[in-house]
């Protein structure tokens, strides 16, 4: 049986082009080594199957033989080791990428994205489990996802990781040293991971795809050195340098301060991809003229967060004006709008920038951020407030800023239970999983008649409305008249500084 499973895996690699016929015997022997076997019997008939099923067969066999325990963490470490035996060496991947790039950037990224999926670095069968829908809002159509592709660690794995030897290698999940790394209980295996070297603004960077793919061709571009996130003029230059090299991709950066920043502030990196986000589709509701920058269109985007969009043909001019706005925002205080640049010398103002090329011109979206906390809002004033935490309490990072909600996996079961209660009439308060949603549901329940057929779509739509509210909370200027007047005051201060 194990020989049949090995044969299926080999045929999968051949069919995907990961190996050639000349590599077959060598690859079989690599797999035998990983499995601790001394021999292999070629099946009389060719065996094939879906990758998820093939790996499950081998993992079940390895568990039965005592090679691994039956935990998600150990199974992931082991199947990545298997897939690493099928993955071309970095030099081969880089050479093929560069060969295709000479034809077009799109052909190069198409190849690399397919490779990242075929090697199981991107686990397609897990990505498919993510829940996805859209919700219509006054700001356009928002994308909603419930993330189910990140495996949740079981208690045994958590305990084992706690007792495991701690290591500072690689320094973080983004470091180049992850390429080919075997992993450990508290760090994922990356034998099937390949990085494309790129030069960004004269320095060494890496280009890879996210293993969780929250949207089409979700890529990560990261500094080859382990250096902290920093939003400054050079960050804008780096964003546009990437867009010039890959004009079919947008690229953006998380902010560089806690609460409003990403999950990894210790390593400079951007995220991009081949996807048009809801914020990119949103138009500008007001335009401003900035003296000395008549060649740059400056608009206020109709969006729940506070966004200035710069558009022009010269990336250098966009970077120049973007830097003026950033420097002004860093030091900007407006007590009437509760915008404070500093409290006790601690900085609060920063920007989430996004760059793209569209219709022959370049755009730079500057999302104004502030991470101040108050007694009433200890998690952040410009952060989803407590009444929304039943749906979303995590930071609003780059992806959410642009209109794609990445909601926690717990919502899959919780929302199903809520639907069941609404259809049956059972009280939400009787179950901790639904009690947390009771006040939220009460705010709209009288507007609907719930049935088994419509409950899910109604709840999904209401979740989308909550996400829109999360973005409004994260906006430094409220969307009412007073807030928009305060936004205009900031722009006027930029004009003065120019």
Q: CA–CA distance from 398 to each of 337, 402, 405 (Å)?
A: 24, 6, 10
Q: CA–CA distance from 256 to each of 79, 272, 322, 460 (Å)?
A: 35, 17, 16, 32
Q: Which residue from 269, 270, 302 is spatially nearest to 283, judged by alpha carbons? A: 302
The whole-number pLDDT of residue 149 equals: 82
The mean pLDDT value for 51-79 works out to: 97
What residue ranges in 152-280 does DSSP mark as E strands?
A: 196-200, 203-209, 219-223, 250-252, 269-273
Residue 63 has pLDDT above 70, yes or no: yes
The whole-number pLDDT of residue 264 equals: 86
Q: Which secondary structure element, helix H or strand E, spans residue 145, and what is its range? A: strand 140-146
Long-range contacts of 239-243 (CB under 8 A, 24+ apart): 239/270, 239/353, 239/354, 239/355, 239/364, 240/315, 240/318, 240/319, 240/355, 240/362, 240/364, 241/200, 241/201, 242/198, 242/200, 242/270, 242/272, 242/355, 243/315, 243/355, 243/356, 243/357, 243/362
pLDDT in tens, 456-498: 999 999 999 999 999 999 999 999 999 999 999 999 999 988 8
Question: What is the C-alpha to C-alpha distance for residues 18 and 253, in angstroms, rounded to an integer?
Answer: 33
The whole-number pLDDT of residue 97 equals: 98
Please calculate the CA angle 301-307-312 and round it to the nearest 5 degrees. 75
Choose the weakest-confidence range: 119-133, 257-271, 422-436.
257-271
Residue 153 has pLDDT above 80, yes or no: no
pLDDT in tens, 248-258: 999 999 999 99
Selected residue with higher pLDDT from 286 and 1: 286
Residue with tokens 């993955």: 87
What pTM does this model have? 0.94
Residue 418 has pLDDT above 90, yes or no: yes
The whole-number pLDDT of residue 405 equals: 97
> What's the 3-state SS for 393-452?
CCCCCHHHHCCEEEECCHHHHHHHHHHHHHHHCCCHHHCHHHHCCHHHHHCCHHHCCCCC
The whole-number pLDDT of residue 431 equals: 96
Query: For residues 278 and 402, is the Cβ–Cβ distance under 8 A?
Result: yes
The mean pLDDT value for 230-239 works out to: 98
> Buried (b) or exposed (e) across 364-401, using 16+ Cβ within 10 A?
bbbbbbbbbbeeeeeebbbbbbeebebbbeebbbbbbb
The whole-number pLDDT of residue 152 equals: 55
The mean pLDDT value for 110-120 works out to: 98
* Average of per-residue pLDDT values in the chain: 95
Beta strands 349-358; 361-370: pairing state: antiparallel
Please calculate the CA angle 360-361-364 and round it to the nearest 5 degrees. 145
Choose the weakest-confidence range: 35-44, 135-144, 259-268, 312-321.
259-268
Give how far the C-alpha of residue 396 lies from the chain's centroid of Cα atoms, to the nearest Å: 11
The mean pLDDT value for 105-133 works out to: 97
| Token duo for residue 112 | 């690399």
Q: How confident is the model at residue 158 (pLDDT cuts 50, 70, 90)?
A: very low
Helices then strands (H, E): number in the chain? 17, 15
The whole-number pLDDT of residue 168 equals: 86
Q: Which residue from 165, 221, 211 is spatially nearest to 189, judged by alpha carbons? A: 211
Percent of the chain whose pLDDT exceeds 90: 93
Residue 425 has pLDDT above 90, yes or no: yes
Please tell me whether the peptide bond between 170 and the residue prior to it is cis, using omega within 30 degrees of 0: yes
Q: CA–CA distance from 175 to each of 124, 204, 227, 258 (Å)?
A: 24, 12, 10, 20
- Give me the residues paired with residue 334 across strands: 339
Residue 154 has pLDDT above 60, yes or no: no
The mean pLDDT value for 182-191 works out to: 95
The whole-number pLDDT of residue 165 equals: 64
The whole-number pLDDT of residue 397 equals: 95
DSSP code per residue over 310-374 = EEES-HHHHHHHHHHHHHHHHT--BGGGTB-SEETTEE-EEEEEEEEEETTEEEEEEEEEE----
- Give me the residues paired with residue 297 across strands: 311
Choose the weakest-confidence range: 54-63, 161-170, 339-348, 370-379.
161-170
């Amino acid at each position: 049986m194990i020989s049949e499973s090995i044969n299926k895996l080999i045929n999968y690699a051949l069919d995907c082009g990961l190996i050639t016929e000349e590599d077959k015997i060598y690859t079989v022997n690599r797999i035998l080594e990983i499995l601790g076997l001394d021999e292999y019997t070629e099946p009389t008939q060719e065996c094939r199957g879906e990758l998820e099923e093939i790996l499950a067969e081998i993992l079940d066999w390895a568990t039965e033989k005592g090679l691994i325990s039956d935990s998600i963490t150990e199974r992931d470490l082991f199947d990545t080791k298997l897939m690493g035996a099928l993955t071309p060496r970095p030099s081969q991947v880089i050479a093929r990428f560069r060969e295709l790039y000479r034809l077009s950037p799109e052909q190069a990224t198409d190849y690399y994205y397919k490779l990242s999926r075929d090697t199981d670095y991107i686990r397609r069968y897990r990505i498919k489990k993510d829940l996805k829908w859209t919700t219509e809002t006054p700001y356009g159509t928002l994308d909603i996802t419930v993330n189910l592709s990140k495996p949740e660690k079981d208690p045994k794995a958590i305990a084992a990781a706690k007792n495991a030897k701690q290591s500072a290698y690689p320094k973080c999940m983004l470091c180049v040293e992850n390429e080919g790394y075997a992993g450990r209980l508290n760090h994922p295996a990356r034998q099937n991971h390949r990085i494309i070297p790129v030069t960004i603004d004269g320095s060494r960077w890496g280009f890879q795809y996210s293993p969780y793919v929250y949207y089409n061709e979700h890529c990560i571009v990261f500094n080859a050195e382990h250096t902290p996130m920093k939003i400054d003029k050079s960050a804008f230059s780096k964003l546009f340098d990437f867009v010039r090299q890959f004009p079919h991709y947008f690229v953006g950066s998380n902010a560089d301060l806690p609460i409003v920043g990403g999950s990894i502030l210790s390593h400079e990196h951007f995220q991009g991809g081949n996807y048009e986000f809801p914020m990119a589709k949103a138009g500008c509701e007001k335009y401003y003229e900035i003296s000395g920058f008549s060649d740059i269109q400056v608009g206020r985007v109709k969006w729940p967060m506070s966004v200035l969009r710069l558009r022009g043909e010269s990336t250098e001019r966009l970077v120049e004006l973007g830097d003026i706005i950033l420097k002004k925002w860093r030091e900007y205080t407006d007590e009437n709008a509760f915008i404070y640049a500093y409290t006790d010398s601690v900085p609060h103002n920063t920007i989430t920038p996004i760059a793209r090329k569209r219709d022959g011109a370049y755009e730079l979206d500057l999302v104004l951020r502030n991470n101040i906390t108050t007694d009433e809002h200890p998690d952040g004033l410009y952060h989803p407030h407590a009444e929304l935490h039943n749906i979303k309490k995590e930071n609003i990072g780059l992806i959410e800023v642009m209109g794609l909600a990445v909601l926690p996996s717990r919502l899959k079961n919780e929302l199903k239970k809520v639907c069941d209660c609404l259809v049956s009439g059972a009280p939400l308060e009787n179950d901790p999983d639904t009690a947390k949603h009771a006040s939220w549901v009460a705010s709209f329940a009288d507007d609907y008649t719930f049935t088994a057929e419509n409950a899910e779509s109604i709840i999904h739509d209401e979740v989308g409305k909550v996400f829109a509210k999360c973005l409004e909370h994260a906006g430094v200027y409220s969307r009412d008249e007073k807030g928009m007047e305060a936004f205009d005051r900031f722009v006027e201060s930029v004009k003065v500084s120019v």
